[in-house]
């Protein structure tokens, strides 16, 4: 027999069973009524318990938040996603994990998040170019970054370096001197990029346009082989994240002529920006989080606040510094404005280059 507490029992019996036993002693209809009353209590309690278990299971299912990364584990984007996942505290989640979904040059991860439930449990963590460059460089793209996604918050930003190697005379130490060298050696006026259609590629296009000289991009599969050929004298210049070029510059393998930030990098305080040297090229690549469209605004705000709390922490900033990155903090609204601005800016650059990505 199950016992059900009854705190409102005026007799002080403490259980429906006691009431049942009193009815039995009265006999007849009273006993029958009490039996029915007991059965009703039992069924109601069983239903409530079942509902509670179902609700608890549903709640547990929502306690996991996934950061979807469109690159293999161990790469730079994956590492930064894990730095956030280790530190973030989302009020409605008990745990946060990173899930790698590489493919189609990171487009597969965007599609996956685009089609995920808009409940805050699935977020895309991505560098800027699948969001701001791909819409201009691919003839056909399966997503619209501002229609299918909601910018939640950035987590990091960086800048690029413009470096020259031994193929360029040692007395070329400024961008102006390099431009003169390119004019004097037009057949050698080319530069290495980390990938066709990536941010370094189009920074090179912007610089060539600003300098008024034709330059040919030479595309590599990643920063390491590009720098290897730069140091080997096979290409005169290369555009890379500063994290890739700093170590080689310190060893003397290359010379960093400029960085692409609005201000100088704290990691390379002696290197002037492109803007300082008279070339209006300011590019600060970012990495950030996006949710599926139709995610509730309150959920976006909650997630954004949690990510920004991480970005403000000294421990996180210290970890980012190892990769030449800085923390970035913006509200969803401000981050959306950044994405819109970058989309507009890159559109004209890509169009002017004539580049079309290979599907």
Domain assignment of residue 86, given as a range? 62-157+287-353
Note the pLDDT tens digit of each residue in 228-237: 999 999 999 9
CB 256 within 8 A of CB 271: yes
Q: Is 277 domain-assigned?
A: no
For residues 165 and 253, state if they share a domain: yes
The CA distance from 191 to 179, in Å, is 12
User: Final residue of a domain: which of 259, 279, 297?
Assistant: 259
The CA distance from 353 to 346, in Å, is 11
Q: Which residue has the higher pLDDT, 54 or 256?
A: 256
For residues 221 and 137, state if they share a domain: no
Handedness of CA 330, 332, 336, 339 (dihedral sign): positive
CB 120 within 8 A of CB 299: yes
Note the pLDDT tens digit of each residue in 131-148: 999 999 999 999 999 999
209 Cβ neighbours under 8 A, 6+ residues apart = 352
Q: Is 359 domain-assigned?
A: no
The CA distance from 114 to 124, in Å, is 9
Counting the structural domains of the chain, the total is: 3
For residues 172 and 211, state if they share a domain: yes
Look up the CATH number of the domain holding residue 70. 3.40.190.150
Note the pLDDT tens digit of each residue in 109-131: 999 999 999 999 999 999 999 99
For residues 164 and 151, state if they share a domain: no
Neighbours of 104 (CB within 10 A): 14
Q: Which token pair is 88?
A: 């973030």
Average pLDDT of the chain to the nearest whole number: 87
Neighbours of 291 (CB within 10 A): 26
278 Cβ neighbours under 8 A, 6+ residues apart = 175, 176
Q: Closest by alpha carbon to 149, among 116, 194, 177?
A: 116
User: Final residue of a domain: which of 239, 259, 279?
Assistant: 259
Q: Is 278 domain-assigned?
A: no
145 Cβ neighbours under 8 A, 6+ residues apart = 110, 131, 132, 135, 290, 339, 343
The distance of Cα 226 from the centroid of its chain, to the nearest Å, equals 25
- Going by pLDDT thresholds of 50, 70 and 90, the confidence category of residue 63 is confident
Q: Is 92 domain-assigned?
A: yes
Q: Is 186 domain-assigned?
A: yes
For residues 47 and 70, state if they share a domain: no
Q: Is 100 domain-assigned?
A: yes
Share of the chain above pLDDT 90, in %: 79
The CA distance from 118 to 224, in Å, is 38
For residues 222 and 75, state if they share a domain: no
159 Cβ neighbours under 8 A, 6+ residues apart = 241, 242, 259, 260, 261, 265, 283, 284, 285
For residues 199 and 176, state if they share a domain: yes
The CA distance from 22 to 123, in Å, is 60
Q: Is 269 domain-assigned?
A: no
Lowest-confidence region among 10-24, 157-171, 230-244: 10-24
Look up the CATH number of the domain holding residue 205. 3.40.190.10
For residues 77 and 133, state if they share a domain: yes
For residues 175 and 141, state if they share a domain: no
Q: Which token pair is 206?
A: 């912007």
Tell me the pTM: 0.81
Q: Is 234 domain-assigned?
A: yes
- Going by pLDDT thresholds of 50, 70 and 90, the confidence category of residue 62 is low
Q: Is the pLDDT of residue 188 over 50?
A: yes
Q: Look at residue 358 and give its three-state secondary structure.
A: coil
pLDDT for position 16: 38
For residues 144 and 177, state if they share a domain: no
Q: Closest by alpha carbon to 260, among 248, 250, 272?
A: 272
For residues 196 and 53, state if they share a domain: no
Q: Look at residue 91 and give its three-state secondary structure.
A: coil
195 Cβ neighbours under 8 A, 6+ residues apart = 201, 219, 220, 221, 222
For residues 205 and 234, state if they share a domain: yes
Q: Residue 192 belongs to what H/E stretch? A: strand 190-193
């Amino acid at each position: 027999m199950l016992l059900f507490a009854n705190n409102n029992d005026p007799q002080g019996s403490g259980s429906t069973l006691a009431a049942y036993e009193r009815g039995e002693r009265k006999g007849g209809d009273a006993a029958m009524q009490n039996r029915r009353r007991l059965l009703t209590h039992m069924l109601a309690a069983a239903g409530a318990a079942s509902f509670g278990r179902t609700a608890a299971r549903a709640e547990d299912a929502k306690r996991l938040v996934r950061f979807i990364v469109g690159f293999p584990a161990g790469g730079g984007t994956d590492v930064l996603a894990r730095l956030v996942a280790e530190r973030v505290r989302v009020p409605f989640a008990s745990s946060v994990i990173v899930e790698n979904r590489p493919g189609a040059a990171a487009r597969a991860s965007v599609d996956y998040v685009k089609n995920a439930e808009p409940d805050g449990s699935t977020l895309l963590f991505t560098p800027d170019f699948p969001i701001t460059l791909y819409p201009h460089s691919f003839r056909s793209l399966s997503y619209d970054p501002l229609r299918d996604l909601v910018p939640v918050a950035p987590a990091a930003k960086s800048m690029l370096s413009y470096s020259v190697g031994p193929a360029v005379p040692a007395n070329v130490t400024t961008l102006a001197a390099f431009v003169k060298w390119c004019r004097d050696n037009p057949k050698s006026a080319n530069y290495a990029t980390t990938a066709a259609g990536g941010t370094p590629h189009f920074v090179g296009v912007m610089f060539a346009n600003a300098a008024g000289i034709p330059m040919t991009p030479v595309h590599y599969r990643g920063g390491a082989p590009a720098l290897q050929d730069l140091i080997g004298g096979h290409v005169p210049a290369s555009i890379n994240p500063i994290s890739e070029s700093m170590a080689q510059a310190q060893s003397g393998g290359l010379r960093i002529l400029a960085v692409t930030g609005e201000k100088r990098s704290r990691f390379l305080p002696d290197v002037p920006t492109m803007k300082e040297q008279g070339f209006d090229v300011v590019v600060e690549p970012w990495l950030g989080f996006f949710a599926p469209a139709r995610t509730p605004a309150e959920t976006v705000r909650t997630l954004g606040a949690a990510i920004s709390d991480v970005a403000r922490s000294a421990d996180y900033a210290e970890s980012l510094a190892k990769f030449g990155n800085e923390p970035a903090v913006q509200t969803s609204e401000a981050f959306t404005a950044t994405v819109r601005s970058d989309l507009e800016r890159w559109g004209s650059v890509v169009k002017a280059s004539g580049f079309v990505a290979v599907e």
